[in-house]
Amino acid sequence: MREVSLLGLRLLDMEAEAIAALMAARPPSAPFAYLVTPNADHFVRLRRQPILSSLYAQATWRSLDSRAIAQAARLLGLHLPAVATGADILAILLDRHLRAGDRLTVIGLCSEGLAALHDRLPDVDIAHHAPPMGLLQDQNAFAAALAFASSHPARFTLLALGSPVQEMLAQAIASGEDATGIGLCIGAGLDFWLGRKCRAPRLMRRLGAEWLFRLAAEPERLWKRYLVDDWAILRFLVDERRQSREVRPPSWMPDPPV
């Protein structure tokens, strides 16, 4: 797998189609492996809460889910991976690689969304668990979600819980001795695929302006994230560019005298 290091993570340098094909080729009986798709919000959280870094480091696949980051990194002259969003990878897996009779486990998604999913995938064996809100503060509810996922192994396990709880659950599933299949930390990806939420027009996505579309659609929920918190990503990218220009002595050179 081709990978590029950016902001402290090794990210796949592959398009969404190639990543989906790579995942689909993995046998369902193989040990549990999971995908994370960090965006600006994730990177900012990782800088502020480095204890969460293992959630991403232990993932089998990591892809960049932000064209805005890619454009900023390109302007700064940073080497960057291809952008492969979680929504795109999920759509390709469900549209092209999911087969009749496959098992699909979904953690999250409301009852209306589940009904729509059954309508779209009538020949797929779907197991569903809807944990309560505030899963991070409810140890029993988290344990119940983990137990459900562990007792319902599937070719694909879709964790639609939002970050970082979905990554925490994926890591917990992977640490089980007999866990199999593939986990995808997808956030609102299923809602996009089902048409329950609208994605930005393709041109806006290509221009890295999908965040503007989502902000206009959900201003009360997203204004602080997009207009305040996530701007720190620019400082992190500038710092990375500055560090990449520093000249480091070879590893064989002795330390200078004190």
Identify the residue whose tokens are 């900012």.
Answer: 44
Say yes or no to pLDDT of 258 above 50: no
Q: Which residues contact 156 (CB under 8 A, 6 or more apart)?
A: 93, 98, 102, 103, 104, 105, 181, 182, 183, 184
Collapse the DSSP code of 103 into the 3-class scheme (helix H, G, I; strand E, B; otherwise coil) and give the result.
Answer: strand
Count Cα atoms within 13 angstroms, Cβ side, for 184: 28
Collapse the DSSP code of 101 into the 3-class scheme (helix H, G, I; strand E, B; otherwise coil) and give the result.
Answer: coil
- Residue whose C-alpha is closest to residue 115's, from 182, 196, 187: 196
Say yes or no to pLDDT of 208 above 90: no
Q: pLDDT tens-digit profile of 18-48?
A: 999 999 999 999 999 999 999 999 999 999 9
Average pLDDT of 82-103?
A: 97
Q: pLDDT tens-digit profile of 218-238?
A: 888 878 887 778 889 999 999
- Residue whose C-alpha is closest to residue 45's, from 176, 206, 168, 208: 168
Q: What angle do CA 156, 162, 168 make, to 5 degrees?
A: 70
pTM here is 0.90
Q: pLDDT tens-digit profile of 70-84?
A: 999 999 999 999 999
% of the chain exceeding 90 in pLDDT: 76
DSSP string, 182-205: EEEE-TTHHHHHHTSSPPPPHHHH
Q: Are strands 3-6 and 9-12 parallel, antiparallel or unpaired?
A: antiparallel
- Residue whose C-alpha is closest to residue 35's, from 71, 11, 68: 11
* Structure token pair of residue 30: 């193989």
Query: CA 38, 44, 49, 50 torsion: positive or negative?
Result: positive
